[in-house]
Amino acid sequence: MTAPAARLGEVQAVSFDFGNTLVPIRREELRLVVRRMTLALADRLGSLDPGAFEAAWATERERQFAEEVPRMREVDLAQRTIRVLARMRGMVPPDPVTPWDDVAAARRSTPDEVALALDAYSSAFVATIPVPDAVGPLLGRLARDHVLGICSNWPLAATIDRFVAAAGWDRHLRAVVVSQRVGTIKPDGRMFRVAQAALGVPAGAILHVGDDWAADIVGAKRAGWRAAWLRDRPGDTPLPGSEPTSDVRPDLVLDRLVDLEDRLTTTEDGR
């Protein structure tokens, strides 16, 4: 696909998706995150079978995606933790088409245990997922002339907060807008409205960069933003994605995130 020529000199702000845009997310690395979270939880809780916990976590992850994504809602890691601990403690899970009794499931764990699991998850994510070398310098250069932010679907906002802080990217970002906090997922327009308010820039002056066509490109364009589609995503990623459609055209198509800096200065006549 060839990107349409576009004047981008009026772009005042750049918004980035997180997973597979700023940070590649690979299946084995995410499995290691869950393994490290599980071992940390088992160390604190004692009688917990790590293998069974991980298997239940994967099953409940798929169930949540099937339940929540069609409703434009983010999956809830606290809810997943409650369900998995309930399974570990003898509660029989419902069949795939029957909803969980989450009230009954919550009786099998404590809020402190759930908080411990979520903290362990975020800690494991930051310790496991590599910080891409080129991103920090790229953000630093872009921040000289643009307001920067993150607008991302992600089930635990604290994980992005901690990763961004550990990477040193927070000093370049005015806003970090995450679906868990907003209560909906891209491409829902609420995500983009919240991000626009946080960035403090008119919609038409924001360029959103993302790898998921439906969430990032369709969502941004419907919100009146400009959009850059990043085609470079890991082939083994477990994160959802979508195929391009002909009804929406991005303002830019990028093969690599680092190409953005040069492309932002592109004009219709190439000068």
pLDDT score recorded for residue 253: 96
Q: Is residue 4 part of a domain?
A: no
Q: Is residue 154 part of a domain?
A: yes
pLDDT score recorded for residue 25: 97
For the record, the structure tokens of 55 come out as 């298997």
Q: Is residue 52 part of a domain?
A: yes
Instruction: Round to whole Å and give the CA distance between 54 and 243.
Output: 30
pLDDT score recorded for residue 10: 87
Of 83, 104, 128, the position where a domain reaches its end is: 128
User: Residues of the chain with pLDDT > 70: what percent?
Assistant: 94
pLDDT score recorded for residue 7: 58
Q: Span 241-266, mean pLDDT?
A: 92
pLDDT score recorded for residue 240: 87
For the record, the structure tokens of 131 come out as 């910080």
Of 85, 109, 128, the position where a domain reaches its end is: 128
Q: Tell me the sheet residues that pair with 178.
A: 152
* 14-28, 195-209, 235-249: the lowest-pLDDT one: 235-249
Other CB atoms within a 10 A radius of the CB of residue 115 amount to: 12
pLDDT score recorded for residue 46: 83
Whether residue 82 sits in one domain with residue 33? yes
Q: Is residue 143 part of a domain?
A: yes
Whether residue 135 sits in one domain with residue 51? no
Instruction: Round to whole Å and give the CA distance between 261 and 119.
Output: 35
- Say if residue 199's pLDDT is above 90: yes
For the record, the structure tokens of 49 come out as 């079978």
Helix (H) or strand (E) holding 263: helix 260-263
Instruction: Round to whole Å and give the CA distance between 246 and 242.
Output: 13
Q: Is residue 5 part of a domain?
A: no
The whole-model pTM stands at 0.92
Whether residue 233 sits in one domain with residue 149? yes
Whether residue 228 sits in one domain with residue 106? no
The number of distinct structural domains making up the chain is 2
Whether residue 180 sits in one domain with residue 159? yes
Whether residue 163 sits in one domain with residue 237? yes
Instruction: Round to whole Å and give the CA distance between 78 and 62.
Output: 15
Query: 230: which residues sit within 8 A by CB, 6+ positions away?
Result: 20, 21, 209, 210, 211, 254, 256, 257
- Say if residue 9's pLDDT is above 80: no
Q: Tell me the sheet residues that pair with 253.
A: 229
Whether residue 136 sits in one domain with residue 121? no
What is the three-class DSSP state of 230?
strand
Whether residue 110 sits in one domain with residue 183? no
Q: In this structure, are residues 8 and 251 in contact, taking their beta carbons and an 8 Å threshold?
A: yes
Q: Is residue 106 part of a domain?
A: yes
Residue (of 139, 109, 118, 88) closest to 258 by Cα position: 139
Whether residue 113 sits in one domain with residue 135? no
Whether residue 240 sits in one domain with residue 165? yes
Q: In this structure, are residues 209 and 257 in contact, taking their beta carbons and an 8 Å threshold?
A: yes
Q: Span 236-254, mean pLDDT?
A: 93
pLDDT score recorded for residue 266: 63
Whether residue 141 sits in one domain with residue 17? yes
Task: Write the DSSP symbol of residue 23.
Answer: B
For the record, the structure tokens of 257 come out as 């995130």
User: Residues of the chain with pLDDT > 90: what percent?
Assistant: 88
Q: Which amino acid is at 175?
A: A
* 86-90, 155-159, 241-245: the lowest-pLDDT one: 241-245
Instruction: Round to whole Å and give the CA distance between 271 and 231.
Output: 25
Q: Is residue 191 part of a domain?
A: yes
Q: What is the CATH number of the domain that holds 249?
A: 3.40.50.1000
Find the domain containing 71 and state its range. Answer: 28-128
Residue (of 137, 171, 158) closest to 18 by Cα position: 158
132-172 residue pLDDT tens:
999 999 999 999 999 999 999 999 999 999 999 999 999 99
- Say if residue 8's pLDDT is above 80: no
Of 85, 101, 128, the position where a domain reaches its end is: 128
Q: Is residue 98 part of a domain?
A: yes
Whether residue 157 sits in one domain with residue 88? no
